[in-house]
Amino acid sequence: MNRGDGLVQRRRGTANSGNGPGAQDGSNEAQGGHSDRQSPHDSDGSSLKDLNSNPALEEDSDKETRLTLMEEVLLLGLKDKEGYTSFWNDCISSGLRGCIVAELGLRGRVELEKAGMRKRGLLTRKLLLKNNAPTGDVLLDEALKHFKETDPPETVQNWIEYLSGETWHPLKLRYQLKNVRERLAKNLVEKGVLTTEKQNFLLFDMTTHPLTDNLAKTRLVRKIQDAVLGRWVNDAGRMDRRTLALIILAHAADVLENAFAPLSDDDYEVAMRRVRTLLDLDFESEAGKPNANPVLWAVFATFTK
């Protein structure tokens, strides 16, 4: 699951990735500076508070439609008018499962076991259930149920593989979360972001989910662009945890390009260079910092190491 590469050359095209209809899972804009110097908008950076200790979705004070990490990543990947993801994107499936684990970590439902005297790495530490109370999200609750039923606990990397169905272990196949894209799209339909249509692709009909709330998508794209341009702080510890996770996991799912496509070439280059800065961080060191969330860093390490 190495998604650490691929930030070298811009792909020319529209904000929507790919050229074909997306297969279903399993079996079933804001401009910034033109260099790494602080842009005119970066004067805000010095006054930014540390948002890293405010992990819960429920604590978000925004009045906008609240989306989970999974929904945000899928929204980035969907073609606005066509309503499906790229047929050629083979990373979004595991990327969405990583979002599920990260979302549970952000909500304080799971945690990593202690590193111990041996200072075990993020990818060898087990994922522990901290709170199995229902979240109100069917996918998150299903994942929590699997975590609860598994003894001994598994690592974050293993769980992402199991939830994706990417395992040869016959006893672990039951952990696969099926039809994740379709279920997330239905959530977005219920939230008024997408609609549901039927499209004919010659040999088959497919349910698609075109964009209806352009403002929601615009806000999402601007949030990502601002994080690496106008409000760039050059310190992962001072970034909002949820935005940090969104950027890295959107890259893991190969949909981050869609957020940067509207940018000028200069801004695009700056944005990608700063994303690379995040991907090249020492995740083990970052996870050991005060107020860090080790679950997030373990998820990041799964896709970039």
Low-confidence winner among 2-11, 27-36, 137-146, 149-158 (lowest mean pLDDT)? 27-36
pLDDT category of residue 10 using cuts at 50, 70 and 90: low
Q: How far apart are CA 60 and CA 230, in angstroms?
A: 21
Whole-number pLDDT of residue 107: 96
Whole-number pLDDT of residue 134: 93
pLDDT averaged over the chain?
Answer: 83
pLDDT at 44 over 70: no
Low-confidence winner among 46-55, 169-178, 204-213, 228-237 (lowest mean pLDDT)? 46-55
Segment 79-97 mean pLDDT: 89
Name all domains of the chain by residue range, CATH numbers in brackets.
40-113+121-304 (1.10.3630.10)
Q: How far apart are CA 204 and CA 202, in angstroms?
A: 6
Phi, psi of 127 (to 5 degrees): -90, 120
Segment 23-41 mean pLDDT: 42
Whole-number pLDDT of residue 1: 55
Segment 111-123 mean pLDDT: 88
In this prediction the pTM is 0.80
Low-confidence winner among 5-9, 69-73, 140-144, 206-210 (lowest mean pLDDT)? 5-9
Higher pLDDT pick, 189 / 23: 189
H helical segments located in 207-279: 214-228, 241-252, 257-260, 265-279
Whole-number pLDDT of residue 188: 95
* pLDDT, tens only, 197-228: 887 777 778 888 999 989 999 999 999 999 99
* pLDDT, tens only, 278-291: 999 999 999 999 99
pLDDT at 6 over 50: no
Residue 112 φ/ψ region, left for φ over 0, alpha for ψ in the -120 to 50 degree band, beta for the rest: beta
Segment 245-261 mean pLDDT: 96
pLDDT at 248 over 50: yes
Q: How far apart are CA 296 and CA 304, in angstroms?
A: 12
pLDDT at 59 over 80: no
Cis amide bond preceding 55, omega within 30: no
Residue found under tokens 């279903």: 24
Share of the chain above pLDDT 90, in %: 63
Share of the chain above pLDDT 70, in %: 78
Within 10 angstroms of residue 277's Cβ, the number of other Cβ atoms is 14
| Residues present in the chain in total | 305
> Can you read off the two tokens belonging to residue 25?
């899972």
Segment 152-175 mean pLDDT: 92
| Surface-to-core class of residue 29, CB atoms within 10 Å of its CB (0-12 exposed, 13-18 middle, 19+ buried) | middle
Taking alpha carbons only, the member of 181, 204, 205, 185 closest to residue 193 is 185
Segment 68-96 mean pLDDT: 91
